[in-house]
Structure 1
Amino acid sequence: MEDAAQAGPGPPAPWPVGPDTSLALNRMGSFDWDLDSGLLHMDEPALRVYDMPPEEYDGNPMVLAVRMPAEDRTSLDNRVTEALKGGASTYGFYFRVVHRDGTSRWAHTQGHIHRDPGGRPRRVIGIIRDATEELEQAAERLAWERERDRQTGVVEGTAAALAHAITVQDVTAVLSDPDGLGRLGAASLVLGIIEGGRVRVLAEGTPGSNVPDLEWTRVEDDYPISEVIRTMAPIYMTSAGEFEHRYPELWPYIRPLDVTSAAYLPLVAQARPIGALGLLYRHKDAFTPEERNLLLALSSGIAQSLQRAMLFDQEHDLAKDLQTAMLPRSLPQVPGVVVAARYRAASASRDIGGDWYDAVPLPGGRVGVMVGDVQGHDTPAAAVMGQLRIALRAYAAEGHSPATVMARASVFLCELDTDRFATCVYADVDTTTGAVRLVRAGHLAPMLRRADGQCHPLCGPVGLPLGLSAQFGELEYPVTTMELAPGETLLLCSDGLVERPGSDLDEGVEALARAVYEGPRELEKLADRLTEVMCVQTGGEDDVALLLLTREEGASPEPTRFLHQYVAPADPQALISARHQIREAVTAWGLPERTDEVELVVDELVTNALRHTDGGALLSLRLMADPRPRLRIEVQDRSSALPRRREPDYESTSGRGMLLVDRLADVWGVDARGTGKCVWSEFVVGRGSEK
């Protein structure tokens, strides 16, 4: 215990040590301030705090005050005055003392105020001590706490920013953003990922620092990113000379960035490298152990976000490719109209959607166009979409009316034994006359762009969605008819093009109408523009299917001429009457040069239908002016058996009918029509046959 008391120089202190010795050994002194006389007694340890020799101090407090900065002297005086007048019994204060050599040290005083029975302060007794080391330790602790908070903020800020990153592009945007560089404390960065066994640089953090030659490198190359990927160990370089010495081939690209140090960190996820992150610094020449630990923690979080984003991109691309594969590879070229279509998958979802579009050439110079949406965003929805689109296409190609096409498709979807329903809009467009028949199954109304650019919805009756109408026995779909004039455009789309979060659907439709009005006239450019503008407004949270059909300028306004005649079975007179009507119609239409050929072909086709089927035949004759004048003959029956052209010998008494049709008509063919078929042939008119 005696040894414990000998903490300083001089003779051994007695045990127990007195208070004066205890205060002196702890660099503390005491004072006694008589408020009535104004004298301030300071013992020798107290004067030592002020660097004041005892012989120079006469008890006047002003002698000590000159050793304090003015602002500290004023603050101390205010604190003491406040304590004396406020009735306090103690006070404490930290202040600075300037020693004789000009150095400044911190001191702390603690005073106890003695008052008389009336509460008047009479004396202040207290201590004064050197607090420099205490405050330095506190400052170091505060600096350490601030640095710890900063590091925590860096990790939390980066993690929060990456939490909203969905795609690889989002991750690179977070890291290369100036705010991201500020969080990381770097002047520039480079991010590379492994793709197909090579390293692809995705982001470089300063404008103009992109190096096309280094966009793709090999893992075996002598570059820092390649090295940390190979070794899965970080690389720290603390000088420009070290950087130049280790990577001389890369240094010419780094020199203009004025880099003084760099840290290259492997991005490892599930024990395998997926890339590397390089951070380049200016005015930095060392990495403390805490900084290295922080960078490794950041690289781990970045690797997890990057791997998640890469998986999202892969699944999104797979879903998009699958969806695209289920859509038409190309749109048909139909004379008299121009068709353009676009599909865009939801940008914020990896799931495949059920939106689709299609265009189907129809008999008689018509075209059927449709846009639909199967409920849900998953693989089953896409599978249902693929089957339903094919069914709709088949029903339309058979020549059914739009209402029948919808009704059959609804029954088909119901019989798939799925819990999905679908909305659809289908339009049957006569490219010659511009006549349009529209049917909606719970779908968004189509829109019409006039020749002057004005656009508005085509409101009309709407039926139940496909699947539901069959389930509830409501298969009667109302038909809306209109005329599409030359230069006008029909717009069909799914609701993903107009639905905006937090907004009314009508607002989205109005925005689409404005975009159409302000968009380009050329159809392909308009399709690109609409998907670009509207998907930005809607946020791209849903799939989008868009189809545009424009009736070409210069399409003949002259109406198509028709002739329809039903020929009953076992009625020779009906066939004779049909031949006479055909001859009269062809002559009246100004085509006498091909009257005999047309009459022979009609006779053969109708006779075949009556002879080889159980029912009658529906004969149609149509004069079509676009894209070239031609006469089209159609004979429909209820048999699915297809006619064949044979080469009979000279003794045969039959089999020459289709041979005759083939020789006389310019072109002929067979289309399925429901449970039956349609045999058709065409004659080019106005300039002779073109066989």
Structure 2
Amino acid sequence: MTARKRPAGGGYDPRVGPFPAGRADPEIGPGERLAMNGMGSFDWDLDQGTFDLDEAGLDIFDLRPEEFDGRPDSLVLRVSPEESARLDIALRRALQAGRRSYGGYFQVTRRDGVKQWTHTQGTILRDERGNAYRVLGIVRDATAELTELPVASAPPPRYERRSPSSIVRRTTEALSTAVTVDDVIAVLTGAGGLERFGADGLTLGLSEAGNLKVIAFSGQEMSFYEGLRLRRLDESLPLTQAVVTQQPRFATSFVELAERFPLLRPHIDTGSGFAAAFLPLVAQARSIGGLALFYRHRREFSREDRELCGALAGILAQSLQRAILFDQEREFATGLQASMLPRHIPRFEGAEVAVRYHAARSGREVGGDWYDVIALPQNRVGLVVGDVQGHDTHAAAVMGQLRIALRAYAAEGHPPSTVLARASRFLAELDTERFATCGYAQVDLTTGSVSAARAGHLGPLVRHTDGRTGWPNVRGGLPLGLATALDLHEFPETRLDLVPGETLVFCTDGLVEERGQDITIGMEALAEAVHVGPQAAEALADHLAENLWERWGSGDDVALLILRRAPDTGTSRAPRMHSYVHQADPEGLAEARCALRQALGGWGLARLADDVELAAGELLVNVLLHTDGGAVLTLEVLPDPVRRVRLSVQDRSSVWPRRRSPGEAATSGRGLLMIDALAARWGVEPRGDGKAVWCEFAVGDEDLPAGGGAPAGTSS
């Protein structure tokens, strides 16, 4: 923003003074109108992390242009870490709740050390998926509003003059929304906490196993308690004495306090003037903790002051008692829930497995989400995710029973359809009137074959070796329990292939579903997060937790299970690549061809790319048109006994291809003739429950790397 020159016309500009008559008022832009009212504006790009603050905004923060580099962290020159963290929490809550705006009061420390009350308000811009990407807002000096309001004007409701009734009312209102002990601490130490009590510092401690454990400080003056965080409940300190005797203690001198309590002498400056109130927190005739309030400029406590302190301590004690009870119940519920989940995840040769569990934050309720990883014979693994209806301890208990039953059915060697059918009958026989959704898959780590079935649950997400992600069309049945009640026990299985390097992601709906949003939005967000996430299973699980739980999983439990089949790249002398082309993926064929060309180029065999790509296209199209499943494509260099390139396409059909002699007018039947002409040799061989059609291409001397020897012979 640049300074406006004095206009030649008449009138009065409040920034530059009077100007001659007979001329129109100067044009005043939106930014200048804000500046005239003590407001600055900012533009915060959340994706880039840049914070554009105009000239008026710099004035409010008392920053020179050269002191601000356009990053939010640079404001730390004027905003304390405590205030900054509180503003971050306000913004994060607004983002999580999907709100369009947020705001708050905070203090700026100006260059001369003066504390300035400041207010900010921002509008959150979101993209079509609901992701916040930008915040546009204003900042303004709110000192006059909060501390220097004219007597004739009514003060805002949250900042009335400090009458005892207003202090009690504001404290009660602030604590009314505190659910956990951490929430109570946030009220005391966050914005306006000290102002509500009219104090310059405070210390909060809780009674715990015969000790007083200090859990919160606010105000630098109380830093002397840093060395007294845990003390036995006796009368050796003023706060512990207040807790033991259930009587408040008021002090107006550090000297007198140090004489009465020698333990304080190494921790306090007896030359400083102050007053302090040490208050017991009593609920139902039992001391649950203590509160110390510090006043820098007070020299006495009137009767009204002592009664006010007692009232505040009583309000705080009641709030803390509720919060402690809530935390205990919450800890019990989440402990019960955690005990129902598997304690150890088995390790498998040829695969990485990662699991995560996220408990909902709202309320004391817990859900029935679970995961399980079951080691099966013949190098197979069973993967389970599920969710029992309801959010209470009963849902968690039912989940534990169902998990054990399903594990037993899987260990008996039954296919997924049978496992889910038996689990449904088991749940119905529990007579809980609860149903459960569930997804179950058996993975053969040797062949990559996957057999999956669903019971009203999400199917798995697959990340391919080239980074593409997709939700395969896994058929499913009704939720467990409900299927038995309706006598519909069909859980059809879907066969998939997981080639080396590909990843399966299972989750419960809490990760992709948010109230009021279409579930497809969350599914797309998960697919994108998996697409850009790291390769390793553990790293990918951390990535999803950090990027999605705050947005989608804060209001519901989430179970996450990831299996990545170990990559098989061969060796530098005999490289190898794999790719899976799903029958329902229209882009898969083109992606496979591109991957083949890139691989051959990387191996120094680009000369063969046209022939190999053409042969692969013929074999893949034959599978996609004439079978009921997808195709596994493998390309590798075979160095012995003769160096050659082998292309293999595997499918689940038992029908072998046969070479035909199509007529001139025929539109099909020439695929094998083309492969016979392009390849040095080709053939068909059985593979498990299907077959593989392969062809080989000779590698000439011109394809050998520099310094390499000639091949021992040629393919035939």
Q: Per the alignment, in what secondary structure is the counterpart of residue 413 of structure 2?
A: coil
| TM superposition shift of 1:367 | 0.2
Corresponding residue for residue 170 of structure 2: 157
After TM superposition, list the pairs within 5 Å mapping 1:70-81 onto structure 2: none
Unpaired stretches in structure 2, ≥5 consecutive residues: 1-150, 571-575, 579-716
Equivalent position amino acid for 2:516 in 1? G
**For residues 162 and 453 of structure 1, what CA distance do their matches in structure 2 show?**
49
RMSD: 2.7
Q: Can you list the C-alpha shifts for 1:510-560, whole angstroms capped at 9, x where unaligned?
A: 33233334444332233234234323213622222111111112388899x
User: How far apart, in 1, do the equivalents of 2:456 and 2:493 lie?
Assistant: 13
The answer to whether residue 437 in structure 2 is matched with residue 402 in structure 1 is: no
Distance 2:496 2:337 in 1: 32
Structure 1 position 295 matched with structure 2 position 270: no
Q: Residue 530 of structure 1 corresponds to which residue in structure 2?
A: 544
Are the aligned partners of 2:213 and 2:231 in contact in 1 as well (CA < 8 Å)? Answer: yes
- d(CA) in 2 for partners of 1:249, 1:287: 24
Contact 1:373 1:423 in 2 (8 A): yes
**Matched positions, count:** 417
Give, in angstroms, the shift of residue 247 of structure 1. 3.0
Deviations 1:414-472 (A, max 9, x none): 11112000001111111111111111111123222333444443343331100111111
Alignment of 1:249-260 (within 5 A): 249-255=263-269, 260=274
Q: Compared with structure 1, are the counterparts of its residues 229 and 354 closer, same or farther at alpha carbon in structure 2 (3 Å cutoff)?
A: same
Kindly provide the CA deviation profile for residues 153-211 of structure 1, in whole angstroms up to 9, marking residues without a partner as x.
22222222212111111111111114111111111111100122211111111369385
| Aligned-pair CA distance for 1:370 | 0.6
- Counterpart of 1:439 (choices 436, 453, 458) is 453
Q: Is 1:191 the equivalent of 2:204?
A: yes
1:640 aligns with none
Look up the SS of the partner of 1:500 in the other structure: coil
Q: What is the match of residue 616 of structure 1?
A: none
Identity over aligned pairs, percent: 51
**Partner residue in 2 for 1:237:** 251
Equivalent of 1:387 in 398, 401, 420:
401
In the alignment, residue 182 of structure 2 is paired with which amino acid? Q
**Hey, what does 2:291 align to over in structure 1?**
277
- Residue equivalent to 2:565: 551
Q: Which residue of 2 aligns with 1:353?
A: 367
Aligned partner of 1:287: which letter?
Answer: F
* Structure 2: distance between partners of 1:538 and 1:180: 31
Cα distance 1:350–1:477, how it changes in 2: closer, same or farther (>3 A)?
A: same
- Does the aligned pair in 2 maintain the 1:336–1:555 contact within 8 Å? no
Higher mean C-alpha displacement, 542-551 vs 219-228: 219-228
> Is this contact kept in 1: 2:436–2:480, CA < 8 A?
yes
Question: Does residue 227 in structure 1 map to residue 241 in structure 2?
Answer: yes
Q: 3-state SS of the aligned residue for 2:263?
A: coil
Q: Distance in 1 between matches of 2:465 and 2:267?
A: 56
Q: Residue 214 of structure 1: which of 215, 219, 228 is its match? A: 228
Q: For the residues of structure 2 that align with 1:411 and 1:514, how far apart are their CA atoms?
A: 37
Residue type at the aligned position of 1:329: R
Cα 1:176–1:435 shift into 2, 3 Å:
same
Task: State whether residues 357 and 547 of structure 1, in contact with CA within 8 Å, keep that contact through their aligned partners in structure 2.
Answer: yes
Tell me, in whole angstroms, the C-alpha distance in 2 between the residues paired with 1:421 and 1:525. Answer: 33
Moved more, 435-444 or 505-514: 505-514
Report how far residue 240 of structure 1 moved.
Answer: 3.0
Relative to structure 1, is the Cα distance of residues 213 and 148 closer, same or farther in structure 2, using a 3 angstrom cutoff?
A: closer
CA contact (8 A) 2:451 2:493 kept: yes
Which one-letter code corresponds to 1:166 in the other structure? V
Contact kept, 8 Å, 1:423 with 1:466, in 2: the verdict is yes
- Provide the rounded CA distance (Å) in 2 between the counterparts of 1:467 and 1:366: 27
Contact 2:511–2:553, Cα closer than 8 Å, also in 1: no
> Contact 1:236–1:264 at 8 Å: present in 2 too?
yes
Q: Secondary structure in 2 aligned to 1:346?
A: coil
Judged with a 3 Å threshold, the aligned counterparts in structure 2 of structure 1 residues 549 and 224 are, in CA distance, closer, same or farther, namely: same
* Equivalent residues in 2 for 1:559-574, closer than 5 Å: none
For residues 312 and 408 of structure 1, the distance between their equivalents in structure 2, rounded to whole angstroms, comes to 38
Counterpart-to-counterpart distance in 1, 2:485 and 2:423? 12
- Counterpart of 1:175 in structure 2 is 188
Cα gap change, 1:519 to 1:220, in 2 (>3 Å): farther
Contact 1:259 1:280 in 2 (8 A): no
2:348 aligned counterpart, secondary structure = coil
1:421 maps to 435
Question: 1:349 touches 1:541 (CA, 8 Å); kept in 2?
Answer: no
CA distance in 2, matches of 1:430, 1:558: 19
* In 1, Cα distance between equivalents of 2:527 and 2:160: 56
Q: Once the 2 structures are TM-superposed, how far is the Cα of residue 214 of structure 1 from its aligned partner?
A: 2.1
Supply the distance in 2 between the matched residues of 1:251 and 1:452 (Cα, whole angstroms). 67
Aligned partner of 1:190: which letter? T
Rounded Cα–Cα distance in structure 1 between residues aligned with 2:471 and 2:194: 49
Partner of 2:29: none
Residues 9-51 of structure 1 deviation map (CA, whole Å, 9 limit, x = unaligned): xxxxxxxxxxxxxxxxxxxxxxxxxxxxxxxxxxxxxxxxxxx
- Say which SS state the counterpart of residue 383 (structure 2) adopts: strand
SS in structure 1 of the partner of residue 332 of structure 2: helix
| Residue from 521, 530, 539 that aligns with 1:516 | 530
Aligned partner of 1:645 in structure 2 is none
From 402, 425, 447, the equivalent of 1:411 is 425
Q: From the superposition, tell whether residues 479 and 381 of structure 1 become closer, same or farther in structure 2 (CA, over 3 Å).
A: same
Matched, 1:488 2:522: no
The amino acid of 1:169's aligned partner reads: D
CA contact (8 A) 2:357 2:559 kept: yes
**Contact 1:167 / 1:309 at 8 angstroms: preserved in 2?**
yes
2:482 paired residue number: 468
Counterpart Cα distance in 1 of 2:224 and 2:298: 23
Of 294-303 and 342-351, more deviation after overlay is shown by 342-351
SS in 1 for 2:360: coil
Contact kept, 8 Å, 2:227 with 2:267, in 1: the verdict is no
Question: 1:295 is matched by which residue type in structure 2?
Answer: C
Q: 2 CA distance for matches of 1:359 and 1:258?
A: 63
Look up the SS of the partner of 1:541 in the other structure.
coil
Q: Distance in 2 between matches of 1:450 and 1:425?
A: 20
Aligned CA distance change for structure 1 residues 555 and 211 (closer, same or farther; 3 Å): farther
2:224–2:267 contact (8 Å) kept in structure 1: no
Alpha-carbon distance between aligned partners in 2 of 1:257 and 1:545, rounded to the nearest angstrom: 58
Deviation at 1:251, TM superposition (A): 4.5
Question: 1:263, 1:280 within 8 Å by CA — same for their partners in 2?
Answer: yes
Give me the whole-angstrom Cα distance separating, in 1, the residues matched to 2:449 and 2:160.
Answer: 75
Question: What TM-score, normalized by structure 1, do the two folds share?
Answer: 0.57
Deviation at 1:243, TM superposition (A): 3.0
Give, in whole Å, the separation in 2 of the partners of 1:167 and 1:293. Answer: 27
Secondary structure (helix, strand or coil) at the match of 2:476 reads: coil
Give 3-state SS (helix, strand or coil) of 1:209's partner.
Answer: helix
Q: Report the alpha carbon displacement of residue 500 of structure 1 after superposing the two structures with TM.
A: 2.5
Matches within 5 A, 1:296-315: 296-315=310-329
Q: Which stretch shifts more, 437-446 or 255-264?
A: 255-264
**Matches of 1:294 and 1:531 in 2, distance apart?**
46
Please show how residues 649-664 of structure 1 align to structure 2 within 5 Å.
none
Matched, 1:502 2:516: yes
Report the alpha carbon displacement of residue 245 of structure 1 after superposing the two structures with TM: 2.8
CA contact (8 A) 2:510 2:553 kept: no
1:648 matched residue in structure 2:
none
Query: In terms of mean alpha carbon deviation, does 393-402 or 444-453 score higher?
Result: 444-453
Letter in 2 for 1:442: G
Q: 1:342 to 1:211 in 2, by over 3 A?
A: farther
How big is the shift at 1:365? 1.0
Q: Does 1:364 align with 2:383?
A: no
